[in-house]
Amino acid sequence: MNGSLEKYTPKLMVLPTFLILLIISLVPLIYVLGISFTASTIAKPFNDFVWFENYKKAFTDEIFGHSLVNTLLFAFIVTTIQTFLGFVLAFTMQRERTLSGVLRTLALLPLFTPPVAIAMIWRLIYDPNQGLLNYYLLNWGLSSTPIAFLGERTLAFPAIMLADIWQWTPFCFLLCLAALQSLPRDPYEAAMVDGASAWYVFRRLTLPMVAPQIIVIFLFRFLIALKVFDLIYMLTFGGPGNATQVASFYIYRVSFKQFQTGYGGALSILVLILISILATLLTKGREFLLSKVER
């Protein structure tokens, strides 16, 4: 009796957490999966079973395809730049003791600011007529006419990326700083005794030791970036044309502007599958890189 109690106690203790996770993640997922096989509208869930029609439609939906490409492009570019900048900032500031508190607080500001406020700030900065950026571009003679950063199809996406980089680089900075400060001191002391150069120490010690954490930071940030919505909604609404259309915003439009929740559900499932594949690939990539580093 005691033996079986001992055997089941850990499982029973985990049960509440398991149930909560089940309710908040699996139930909505099953619901979305369910409606994705129907011609549901917002007021008529589970309306008309259509099997895979929504999925077929998604594969021929040019805007959805375009929005997926944009999403991947966006996530890859901003994550790469943010991780790089975050690491550089963390590396240069890791030894700073006197100003470290102030710097960390400053770094946290963009993270604490509501995304809508951030979008408004950047909208004002980019404004062609009264914006800060155009003011300097015109006054310094860098441009003869105001530039509508959010209205030009070639500039709108980079402009949104810049706002995202400003918002999320501190996140990478803080995680990189924590990773760097957690490294053991012994190898550095040994390298100093051996007279190793700074570049050699960085290349042979710091980088290999911190690489696993950097890859995890990249992975986290990449997965978050795939869900970008707020900046698109506030700055361009997916325009001009479909230049800044991303998957989450398109799904929102289909589900809550056209009220086609069945089709929106199918698109969501497809995006989920894509993200799962990417996450698996990145995890495998991380393991591969780690094995290289360890060698």
Partner 1 sequence: MKKLTLIISLLVIATMLLTACQPAAPATEQPQAPEQPTEQPKPEEPTPQQPAAEKPAEPMPAAGAAINKEACQGANLKFLTIQPHNVAAQNLQTWFQEASGAQVELIVVPYDNVIEKAVLDVTSGANEIDVVEYWYPGLGTLVENNVLENLDQWYADNASWIKADDFFPTYFDTFTKIGDSRYGIPYDGDMHLLWYYKPLFEKYSLQPPKTWDEYLNACKTITEGEKGNAYGCAIMGAKIPLILIGTYLNRLGSYGGSFFDAQGKPTINSPEAVAALEGLVEQSKYALPTASAVAFDEALGGWFTGKVGMVEFWTDLGSMTNDPASSKIGGQWGVVPLPKGPGDKGKVVASVNAGFAIGVSTGSKNKACAMEFVKFVADPETAKRYNTVVGGIDPARQSTLEDPKFIEFVGKEVADAIREAHKNAVVWPTSALWFKLQEPLNDNLSLALSGQKTPQQALDDTQKAWEDLLK
- Judged by CB under 8 A, which stretch of 29-37, 81-89, 95-103, 106-114 contacts partner 1? 29-37
Amino acid of residue 225 = A
Q: Which of 220, 96, 114, 118 is closest to 162 using CA atoms? A: 118
Q: Is the bond preceding 158 in cis, omega lying within 30 degrees of 0?
A: no
Q: Taking CB under 8 A as the criterion, which residues in 206-245 touch partner 1?
A: 236-243
Instruction: Give least dist CB 31 to partner 1, A.
Output: 9
18 makes contact with partner 1 (CB under 8 A): no
DSSP assignment string, 155-209: HHHHHHHHHHHHHHHHHHHHHHHHHHHTS-SHHHHHHHHTT--HHHHIIIIIHHH
CA dihedral 22, 28, 32, 34 (to 10 degrees): 60
Q: Total number of residues binding partner 1 (CB under 8 A)?
A: 44
DSSP 111: H
Q: Taking CB under 8 A as the criterion, which residues in 169-188 touch partner 1?
A: none
Instruction: Give least dist CB 3 to partner 1, A.
Output: 28
Q: Taking CB under 8 A as the criterion, which residues in 249-268 touch partner 1?
A: 253, 256-260
| Distance (Å, whole) CA 233 – CA 98 | 40
Q: Which is nearer to partner 1, 126 or 173 (CB)?
A: 126
Residues in contact with partner 1, shown as a per-residue x/- string from 47 to 86 under the rule CB under 8 A: xxx-------------x-----------------------
Q: Which is nearer to partner 1, 97 or 257 (CB)?
A: 257
Question: 172 with 86: CB under 8 angstroms?
Answer: yes
- Judged by CB under 8 A, which stretch of 30-38, 101-109, 191-199, 201-209 contacts partner 1? 30-38
Q: What angle do CA 225, 227, 233 make, to 5 degrees?
A: 105
The contact set with partner 1 (CB under 8 A) reads 30, 33-35, 37-38, 41-44, 46-49, 63, 127-130, 138, 144-148, 150-153, 156, 236-243, 253, 256-260
